Structure 1
Amino acid sequence: MGKSKVLVVGGTGYMGRRMVRASLAEGHETYVLQRPEIGLDIDKVQMLLSFKKQGARLLQASFSDHRSLVDAVKKVDVVICTMSGVHFRSHNLLVQLKLVEAIKDAGNVKRFLPSEFGMDPARMGNALEPGRVTFDEKMEVRKAIQEANIPFTYVSANCFAGYFAGNLSQMGTLLPPRDKVTLYGDGNVKVVYVDEDDVATYTVKTIDDPRTLNKTVYLRPPDNILSQRELIEKWEKLSGRQLDKFSLSEHDLLSSMKDLDLAGQVGVGHFYHIFYEGCLTNFEIGEHEEEASRLYPEVNYTRMDEYLKIYL
């Protein structure tokens, strides 16, 4: 069976560029949506042109032009949406709902992967406000997908290493602390850290796999299921420097929310669910669910001790 033709929506974004590279590396005929709204953003224009040099094809379409979206979707078999979650509250939701409508009207797509790639929203029904809206909106997209009978795969990639590992899971920085580090509670709750390039590799492998059709795929590479303490120990061993550790109680973390803007409150809420509740690892993978590293043992995923070396 031949490989699917893949359209990446949001291809110039943080995860999108990785999906484009992974799709090309897997030998898929790869298309990237080029929107007129890109305007004078020279970095994005040059990135699109670099994709073209690598063998990708650019498809012009706009979310304000339904017919153009339908025409773009008709050229492919699989659509991967990687629109950024930074457009907090409704923008991302509206864009994805328009994409679902285009896929429904095109009628030819054999797999749609919506923009998720974090915590599984189906397990976050009791999430704190205001961050809960991010999960509710993803569930609204899922509802639209399933009502339209669009074949899907949902990917739950847990914690991106660039945002959670390199900084030893410290809020407000993307670099490892030099002297002291904050532990969330006792720092022993298990978390899943995944290199973003590995997220893309695993994601692209699912698209032609019948085992992942209409299922949620969790990325839980076993060597990367670590507590925050274990992550810090890896850094201390690599750097040869011991960090002073300070424990932040659940109460103090949640109390800090009142002094933050909306985005900060969302971030604190997500940290609470990950590092205190253990929402990434406190459940067993069950029916209609798969785990990526079991499905694709050939992927030599990046271990966090190796990943952290780039910060030395």
Structure 2
Amino acid sequence: MLSTAERWEGGKNRILIIGSTGYLGKYMAKASISLNYPTYVLVRPESLAPNSSRAGKLQELTDMGIRILQGSLDDHKSLINAFKQVDIVISSLAIPQHMDQLKIIRAIQEVGNIKRFLPSEFGNDVDRVEALPPFQKVCDDKKVIRRAIEQAGIPYSFISANSFAAYFVDYFIHPRRNPQPEEVVIYGDGLTKAVLNLEDDVAAFTIMVANDPRTLNKLVIYRPPGNIISQSELVSLWEKKTGTTFKRVFLSESDMINLSETLPHPDNIPVCVLHNIFVKGDQTNFELGEEELEASRLYPDYKYTPIEAFLDASISVPRHTKLTSFA
């Protein structure tokens, strides 16, 4: 009988990704198989039909050597059957489906063999966030998931991956648009620092965290020094690299608060997220203590992509090519 330490050090943990055809899930699946872990994805039976809108994405996963397990969050027995075949479960479920993770927690608690569960967070550290009410509700829901995992005694790692670089670069400056837009919206004064991590790096860090004894029952924050940048700095960098000059249109904090109160739900959530990250600065307005786990310090040999290098790479991509998918 192998000890827990030997099981971590010898052999590869079998990793199950839930939400593998979503925006972040496909990066997770690719990172897991690229790092040579036996990788599984949970897929609803109807998604396997030849005429399914997800058939192409699933074929890409199987072509990479990823194994498909049929199951549904609404079918407890199928979750039990899937979890019995793996060691680690990583959820990348999107809002509003993230509350369905309570079903995952119940199934993990029942099977008793899962060595690590990583719930779907991958944004700000929800235990630190103080946001406008529509976004605060989302964060409070994620805190419910955290507390349920802790109360159930399930081994976990919580992830604060901050912001996705490809998503926000595309959102702010539209580098693939031809011709380039004439103006860019600046939120607040544009000087607040945020953390923009490339999606591929978020996924790779997450797979390493999931298999690391040091991160058991811990929060890990992804704050590499080369990815800390303000919106104004980002825009200025792109202007310098491309010779583009944007007209800066400022959306004040008071206007953002007004939009959060007047836009219908859930249309009011994005402006609250932008306010929290790029005006209030909840990703960088606290110091990391010596005991806190930060991904680039945990894995110094991993060569993450700094935001400036990502911009350089974006210049070389043909203008008709989409930088990222928002599926």
- Cα deviation, residue 97, structure 1: 0.4
Aligned to 1:304: 307
Give yes or no for contact 2:43–2:71 (8 Å, CA) kept in 1.
Answer: yes
Among candidates 37, 45, 48, match of residue 28 of structure 1: 37
Among candidates 64, 68, 86, match of residue 74 of structure 2: 64
CA RMSD of aligned residues (A): 2.1
Report Cα offsets for 1:13-57 as digits up to 9, x if no partner: 111111111000111011111212426563412322322221111
- Cα deviation, residue 181, structure 1: 2.0
Aligned to 1:134: 138
Moved over 4 A (4+): 173-177
Among candidates 165, 168, 185, match of residue 169 of structure 2: 165
Give 3-state SS (helix, strand or coil) of 1:101's partner: helix
Distance 1:146 1:174 in 2: 43
> Identical aligned pairs, as a percentage?
43
- Cα deviation, residue 107, structure 1: 0.1
Structure 1 pair 180–79 and aligned structure 2 pair: CA distance change class (3 A): same
Give yes or no for contact 1:169–1:228 (8 Å, CA) kept in 2.
Answer: no
Structure 1 pair 260–300 and aligned structure 2 pair: CA distance change class (3 A): same
Alignment of 1:1-312 (within 5 A): 1-38=10-47, 42-85=52-95, 88=96, 91-93=97-99, 95-124=100-129, 126-168=130-172, 178-286=181-289, 289-308=292-311, 309-310=313-314
Structure 1 pair 207–222 and aligned structure 2 pair: CA distance change class (3 A): same
Q: Structure 2 stretches of 5 or more lacking a match?
A: 1-9, 320-327
Give yes or no for contact 2:90–2:118 (8 Å, CA) kept in 1.
Answer: yes
Distance 2:268 2:290 in 1: 33
Distance 1:310 1:52 in 2: 28
TM-score computed with the length of structure 2 as normaliser:
0.87
Give yes or no for contact 1:96–1:141 (8 Å, CA) kept in 2.
Answer: yes
- Cα deviation, residue 306, structure 1: 2.9
Give 3-state SS (helix, strand or coil) of 2:248's partner: strand
Structure 1 pair 47–182 and aligned structure 2 pair: CA distance change class (3 A): closer
Give yes or no for contact 1:155–1:217 (8 Å, CA) kept in 2.
Answer: yes
Distance 2:198 2:259 in 1: 29
- Cα deviation, residue 257, structure 1: 3.0
- Cα deviation, residue 207, structure 1: 1.3
Question: How many pairs were matched up?
Answer: 304
- Cα deviation, residue 196, structure 1: 0.8
Report Cα offsets for 1:223-272 as digits up to 9, x if no partner: 11001111111110121112222333211221233442212211111111
Give 3-state SS (helix, strand or coil) of 1:223's partner: helix
- Cα deviation, residue 286, structure 1: 3.5
TM-score computed with the length of structure 1 as normaliser:
0.91
Distance 1:196 1:98 in 2: 27
Give yes or no for contact 1:163–1:169 (8 Å, CA) kept in 2.
Answer: no
Distance 1:243 1:50 in 2: 38
